[in-house]
A and B are shown apart, each in its own frame.
Chain A
C-alpha cells in the first residue's frame, strides 16, 4: 500500500507519516471486489451505516436522558415533548434498532445462503457472530432505559435466566441487578453499558472489515476470484450501488419514523414501570422472538436457557458442520431447499414467540424448535450426499462445461 503516490504534497507528507490516505485508497477505492455481487451484498455496508445512525442519535439522546428509576420515564417523555426535535431523535433511535436488526438478519442469511462462512472466512464469520451477540446485549439493555412496564419486566425476566445456572445462579443474578430485584442500580449500569457497547461494536466492525479485506469478499457464485478480469474497483461501482441501496433503506426506515413510529413498539411500554404489577403479556422486541420461542419450548428452566443460547452458539461451528466443498447454494439443489425451510422455520418461531404460550402454540413451538436444531446435522449429511451442479470456471466467464448453462439459475444478477 505504500506504493501509492499522491499528487498533493501535503497529502503525501501526511501519508508518509500516517498512511490513512493509502489505506483509504487501498481499501475503499481500489479494493478489488468481485464483479458479480448482487443486491444482497448491500446489507453489510447498510448495517455499518445503521450503526453510525444509532451512535449519533444515541449520543444526543443521552444528553437529555436521566438514568434514575424516578426520573427515567419522565425524562424520555420530556425528550418527546420539550427537547427540540427530541421526538425525531427518539423515534430514529427506537425504529433504528428495528431496521438495524432487519439489515443484519438479511446480512446473516445472505452469508448462510452463499456459504460465506466457509474456509477461508471462518474468522470473519465468527467476528460477525460476536457483533450480533453484542448487538443483542446492547439492544436488550437499551430497551430497559425508558423504564416502562415492559422495560422493567423484560429486564426482570431475561436477567432471571441467569438464575438457572447451577450453584452460582442466584449470586450471578443478584450481581447483575446490584440488589435484590431490578432497581435503580440495574438501570444505572444498563445505561453505562448501553453507552459503552456500541463503541465496542464499532471496534468489532473494524476487525470484521480487516478480516474481510484479508480473505476478500465472497460472491454469488461462491468461487474464488481468478484474476483482475473477475473484479471491479470498489469505487465507484459498489459505492454507488451501496448508496442507492441506502436510499431504499432510508425510505422504509424513515417512512416508519414519520408515519408509524410505534408500529414495532408495545403499547404497554408507555405505562411507567410498576414493580408490583406484571403486565399480562410480556413479549420481547421482535428481533428476539425466535429465541424466546425456543426458550419457552423446553419445559425445564436450565434446559430452556441452554437451548436458547445454544441456538446462537451453534453457528460458531457452522464452518465445520457444513461438509460441502461448494459454497454457493446456487449450485446446491438440496441445500437451497433446506435453507429456505430454515428461514421459514425461524419466521414461524418468531410468530410463536409473539403469542401467549397456550394451546396449540406449545406443541408447535416444540416442533419448530426441534426443526431449528435439526438443520445443523442435516447440513452435515447433505454435504456428504448432495451432488452439486458443475461450477463455472471463473466469475468473468460463467460458461459451464455441462449442459446446465441454459437452464440453471442465472448466476449473475442483472442489476
Chain B
C-alpha cells in the first residue's frame, strides 16, 4: 500500500538525475475559476536543485541551488533569498530532487496506475498535495494543491530526462541594479 507507492515513486524519481521541460501553468481556485495562465521552464537536478522560471508577462524566477532559495522579481527589481532548509520544510517540489532524503518520512504517497500523490503529514500552509503523472518513466504533469484548494497544473513539453546540464544552471547571479532582501 503506502510503502509500495512511496517506494515505486522513489524508484521513478531516482531515475531522474536531471529533468528539464517547458511548461504551461494553469491555476484555478476552488470554484474552478481560472486565476492565472502562464508558461515557463523547470529544471531539476539531484539533490535539492530546482530552477523554475515563468516567462513574460509573468516573468519571475525561483532558484534553489541546494543551500538557498533565490526569488528573482523583475517587476520590483528585487531578489528575496531564504535558506533552503527553511523553504524545504514542507515544499514537496524540492523533495522530488531528493529521493533518498529522510524528509520523505514526513509525507505519505498514494498511487493510482501512473499517478502518484504526495501529501505532507503535517499541513502547515503552502502546498498540501502534489500529484505527479508519468507516461512510462516520463514525468508529464505536475499538479500542486494548497490549503485553499487552489490548484496549479503544469503540463510539460520538450522533456529531457538525465541529460547533462550547463554548469551554471543553478548558479545564482545577482541581476544588475536589483536589491537583495535577505531573509536568512
Q: Do A and B bind each other?
A: no
Instruction: List B residues at the A interface (Cβ < 8 Å).
Output: none
